Copies of this chain bind each other. A is one copy, B any other.
């Protein structure tokens, strides 16, 4: 039974998360369904970043490392991310990029399983994870990268995304972690496409990595994070031993000596201005009930599937239909995905396209309404009816899509 537009508006009126929408800067002329790629700005981010530039940098100058808490950012922000992924304080360090964190996690895992020479990743992952695994294998010699779901006794570590970036499939973290660890391998989760979309729990994993610029709305290129299970603190080795990971960074000792705990996986000087925007973004999540976020996310994605699925005979749902197996995005496959996404953007609905044939629509529950879902699905149906793949305005490729 499909909802009407009026019924969607009624749902918005009673939505317990509805108040969050006003905290974000959103375009008047578009429905933004790419928050799974880059989240919308919290309105508070501008003032928070301005404070970092003018009051902290301008007012404190180099003293800001102490007085403005810059030096503490990687651990302080890690502690604030921790509850979003089922981790505790002192288990997460923020900074750098997801790719860097993947490298650190994989390199540490290989050293913890020195008798095993295989890294397993998924061909369907966001490629940077796999690329980093390949680069590490090439650096070390004698290692190879194999495809999931190989879990033989030669496997040192398995790297998987909780939610697959292309299809939006959500994996069963508990089941996969237990299976991998039972085979004697270590488990690294990439939660880029799940953190902030629903309650994540990677506490049983060995390592986890993620970014903060998708559902967490930390801004373009905001800091990544790395979770290190406490059972590995003191034994897991960070390959990127910058001065922030030293036991006493300001002793300027000539040789490296790792900090205890997760700070041993810090690298170096944090990108302070990028951390400032993340500060504003996390403050919002500290007031949001993640169970309510998940409930609304599933309602939004279910509604979109229901409304959009019959838009064209060649349109195929790529996302699992079972709610528990979905992240907070809906992907379809269509041979003319690219012109459809472009034509849709011209009608004010911003999704994205991923080669070769995937149309992706992300649903950020903190700032999207049921009526947005209704209107987006209506626009999609209209666009398919117009068959934009016959129109060269839409088939010409842009530099980056």
Give A contacts to B, CB under 8 Å.
Answer: 25, 27, 32, 34, 37-38, 40-41, 45-46, 49-50, 52-54, 56-59, 61-66, 70-71, 96-100, 103, 107, 111, 123, 126-128, 130-132, 134-136, 138-140, 166, 211, 213, 219-223, 237-243, 245-246, 250-256, 267-277, 350, 352, 354-355, 398-401
Given A99-B268, A123-B254, A130-B256, 6 more A-B residue pairs with CB atoms under 8 Å apart are A57-B219, A66-B398, A127-B252, A134-B255, A135-B241, A221-B275
A131 and B242 contact, Cβ closer than 8 Å, known pairs A66-B398, A251-B355: yes
Which B residues lie within 8 Å of A71 (CB)?
400
Q: Please, which residue of chain B has its CB at the minimum distance from the CB of A128?
A: B243
Shortest 8 CB-CB distances between A and B: which pairs? A135-B241, A99-B242, A220-B272, A99-B268, A128-B243, A131-B256, A38-B62, A25-B58
**Docked pose: A62 CA to B401 CA in angstroms:** 10
Q: Please, which residue of chain B has its CB at the minimum distance from the CB of A166?
A: B252
Q: Please, which residue of chain B has its CB at the minimum distance from the CB of A400?
A: B66
Which B residues lie within 8 Å of A354 (CB)?
252
Which B residues lie within 8 Å of A59 (CB)?
27
Q: Are B62 and A34 in contact (CB under 8 A)?
A: yes
Q: Are A221 and B70 in contact (CB under 8 A)?
A: yes
Q: Are A62 and B251 in contact (CB under 8 A)?
A: no
Q: Are A240 and B100 in contact (CB under 8 A)?
A: yes
- Say how far A38's CB is from chain B's closest CB, in angstroms: 4
Q: Are B100 and A100 in contact (CB under 8 A)?
A: yes
Q: Are A256 and B32 in contact (CB under 8 A)?
A: no
Q: Are B97 and A132 in contact (CB under 8 A)?
A: no
Q: Please, which residue of chain B has its CB at the minimum distance from the CB of A139?
A: B239
Q: Are A97 and B268 in contact (CB under 8 A)?
A: yes
**Docked pose: A261 CA to B315 CA in angstroms:** 40
Q: Are B243 and A135 in contact (CB under 8 A)?
A: no
Q: Are A65 and B400 in contact (CB under 8 A)?
A: yes
Which B residues lie within 8 Å of A98 (CB)?
268-269
Q: CB < 8 Å: which of B213, B237, B271 contacts A223?
A: B271
Q: Are B61 and A267 in contact (CB under 8 A)?
A: no
Q: Can you list 10 contacts pairing A with B, beta carbon distance less than 8 Å?
A: A32-B61, A41-B54, A45-B53, A46-B53, A46-B54, A53-B219, A66-B400, A96-B100, A130-B256, A139-B237
- Say how far A379's CB is from chain B's closest CB, in angstroms: 17
Which of A45, A213, A270, A271 counts the most chain B CB atoms within 10 A? A271
**Docked pose: A97 CA to B38 CA in angstroms:** 23
- Say how far A263's CB is from chain B's closest CB, in angstroms: 14
A131 and B246 contact, Cβ closer than 8 Å, known pairs A41-B58, A62-B37, A399-B66: yes
**Docked pose: A126 CA to B166 CA in angstroms:** 43
Q: Are A240 and B64 in contact (CB under 8 A)?
A: no
Q: CB < 8 Å: which of B277, B350, B355 contacts A53?
A: B277
- Say how far A195's CB is from chain B's closest CB, in angstroms: 15
Q: Are A61 and B100 in contact (CB under 8 A)?
A: no
**Docked pose: A355 CA to B250 CA in angstroms:** 8
**Docked pose: A243 CA to B66 CA in angstroms:** 35
- Say how far A175's CB is from chain B's closest CB, in angstroms: 25
Q: Are B46 and A271 in contact (CB under 8 A)?
A: no
**Docked pose: A251 CA to B219 CA in angstroms:** 24
